[in-house]
C-alpha cells in the first residue's frame, strides 16, 4: 500500500484560509488501511477544522466525504456533487489522488492534506514500514526476498557497508541493516553463494531517473467496456 501522514492541522488551516466552503475528501484504499486519510480521518479533520474556526470566531462550511479510490476517475465522479459545492478540497489521498482530482476537475482547487510517504506493509497494528521504491527492475530473486534498494539506506547492491553494526544501520540503531537481513535470509534458504558475485551497476533509467514513467497496454487502451465485460 501507499502510506502517508496527515499534515499538521495548522498547515491545513493555513491552506484553506479565506475559502468559504471546504470539502475534506478521504480515500478508501491505501490511506484508509494505514489510518491516515480514510473516511474516519476525513471526519476527524473536518471536525478539528470546524472547532478551530469556532474558537477563532470564523464561520465557514466544512464537511467531509469519501470515495473508494481518488486515483481512479470512475470513483472520483461519485464525489461530483460534493465537489461542485466546494470552493476548495483538501484531499486526504496520496499525491496520486490529489493530482488525479486536479486532472479530472480542472477548475477545482485541491490541496494536499497528507504527506505521502512510502510503499510499504503493515508490520504490526500501528506500524508501517517501507518495502519498495518502484525502481522498475526487481532484484528480489537474488537477495532472498529482501530489497537492497529500499532496505539499505544507501541502496547498495553489494553491501553491507562498514556502518553495519549489531544488525543495525549507521543511520539509526532502530533501522535494521538491510544487508544483514539479506545475508540472514540467504543463509536460511541455503543461497549464500549468491553473494559471491559482484552485482553490476543498476540500470536506473528504468526508475524515475529515466523521467516520469507510463505503463501502456495497447490491447486494452481506450476500450472503456473492458471492465463491464468482465462483470
Site for other proteins contains 171 (CB under 8 A): yes
Among 125, 127, 198, 216, binds other proteins (CB under 8 A): 198
**How many chain residues touch other proteins (CB under 8 A)?**
31
Site for other proteins contains 8 (CB under 8 A): no
Residue-wise DSSP of 201-225: PP-GGGSGGG-S-----TTTTT-TT
Cα dist from 183 to 68, 121, 135, 169, 211, whole Å: 40, 21, 21, 14, 33
Site for other proteins contains 210 (CB under 8 A): no
Among 97, 112, 120, 159, binds other proteins (CB under 8 A): 159
Closest distance to other proteins from the beta carbon of 174 (Å): 13
The nearer residue to other proteins, 37 or 148, going by C-beta atoms, is 148
The nearer residue to other proteins, 44 or 170, going by C-beta atoms, is 170
Closest distance to other proteins from the beta carbon of 102 (Å): 26
Closest distance to other proteins from the beta carbon of 21 (Å): 37
Terminal alpha carbon distance of the chain: 25
Neighbouring residues of 60: CB distance < 8 A, sequence distance ≥ 6 = 19, 20, 21, 22, 53
Site for other proteins contains 160 (CB under 8 A): yes
Residue-wise DSSP of 37-86: SSHHHHHHHHHHHHHHHHHTT---EEEEEEES-TTSHHHHGGGHHHHHH-
Closest distance to other proteins from the beta carbon of 3 (Å): 21
Stretch that binds other proteins, among 71-79, 135-143, 159-167, 211-219 (CB under 8 A): 159-167
Site for other proteins contains 3 (CB under 8 A): no
The nearer residue to other proteins, 4 or 148, going by C-beta atoms, is 148
Burial 112-132 (b: 16+ CB within 10 A, else e): bbbebebbbeeeeeeebeeee
Among 18, 126, 200, 212, binds other proteins (CB under 8 A): 200
CB 155 within 8 A of CB 132: no
129-133 LR contacts (CB < 8 Å, sep 24+): 133/207
Site for other proteins contains 166 (CB under 8 A): yes
Chain positions contacting other proteins, by CB under 8 A: 153-168, 170-172, 177, 180, 183-184, 195-196, 198-202, 204
Amino acid at each position: 500500500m501507499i502510506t502517508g501522514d496527515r499534515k499538521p492541522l495548522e498547515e491545513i488551516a493555513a491552506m484553506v484560509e479565506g475559502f468559504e466552503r471546504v470539502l475534506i475528501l478521504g480515500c478508501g484504499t491505501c490511506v484508509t488501511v494505514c489510518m491516515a486519510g480514510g473516511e474516519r480521518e476525513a471526519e476527524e479533520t473536518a471536525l478539528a477544522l470546524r472547532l478551530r474556526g469556532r474558537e477563532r470566531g470564523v464561520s465557514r462550511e466544512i464537511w467531509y466525504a469519501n470515495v473508494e479510490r481518488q486515483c481512479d476517475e470512475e470513483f472520483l465522479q461519485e464525489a461530483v456533487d460534493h465537489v461542485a459545492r466546494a470552493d476548495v478540497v483538501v484531499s486526504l489521498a496520496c499525491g496520486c489522488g490529489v493530482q488525479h482530482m486536479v486532472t479530472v476537475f480542472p477548475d477545482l482547487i485541491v490541496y494536499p492534506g497528507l504527506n505521502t510517504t512510502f510503499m510499504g506493509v503493515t508490520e504490526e497494528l500501528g506500524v508501517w514500514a517501507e518495502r519498495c521504491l518502484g525502481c522498475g527492475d526487481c532484484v528480489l530473486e537474488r537477495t532472498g526476498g529482501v530489497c537492497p534498494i529500499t532496505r539499505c539506506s544507501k541502496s547498495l547492491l553489494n553491501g553491507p557497508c562498514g556502518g553495519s553494526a549489531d544488525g543495525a544501520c549507521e543511520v539509526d540503531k532502530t533501522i535494521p541493516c538491510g544487508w544483514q537481513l539479506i545475508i540472514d535470509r540467504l543463509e536460511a534458504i541455503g543461497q549464500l553463494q549468491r553473494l559471491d558475485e559482484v552485482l553490476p551497476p543498476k540500470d536506473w533509467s528504468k526508475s524515475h531517473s529515466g523521467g516520469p514513467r507510463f505503463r501502456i497496454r495497447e490491447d486494452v487502451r481506450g476500450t472503456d467496456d473492458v471492465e463491464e465485460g468482465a462483470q
